[in-house]
Amino acid sequence: MAFRPIRRFGDPVLRMAAEPVTVFDQRLRSIVADLLDTVDAPGHAGVAAPQIGVGVRAFSYRVDGEIGYVVNPEVVELSDEVQDDVEACLSLPGLGFETRRAQHAVVRGVNADNEPVTVSGSGLMARCLQHETDHLDGMVYIQRLDPERRREAYRQVREQSWFWQ
């Protein structure tokens, strides 16, 4: 359908929990198509519906050559083993902060036809699944940082030319 512009940190849609999808119709298929077109751009690993201004529980991903989407995703499994790595977000362009995530994650949801879907992965895929599901809960990854690093992240956000535009 269309590549959609990414909403930036500070946009209220990124702070609100997305609504579960209850109607599986052409509107949903259009949203999914836009999510897939948007995630297919270079440098995009995942895009949640709120990031394109749509407050529904759906996200797309493109990690290690695998592209797909999940509607009404729920994280159903996280490993005890963790990874600490720099995380970034399309809604916070130009910034990245070390963020702890589970090394392995499993997400269950449905596709646009309301058929069950399970996506699992380790490393970057696990990070993506957790990051995009957080977006659907109204959380941006810098909110997961410890208080000192979170203050520094917010300071850096305020210094960005795109902030408050």
Residue of higher predicted confidence among 27 and 1:
27
Instruction: Say if residue 94 is exposed, middle or buried (CB neighbours under 10 Å; 0-12, 13-18, 19+).
Output: exposed
- Does 42 have pLDDT greater than 90? no
pLDDT grade for 1, boundaries at 50, 70 and 90: low
Q: Catalytic residue numbers?
A: 132
Q: Are 134 and 122 in contact (CB under 8 A)?
A: no
pLDDT in tens, 88-146: 999 999 999 999 999 999 999 999 999 999 999 999 999 999 999 999 999 999 999 99
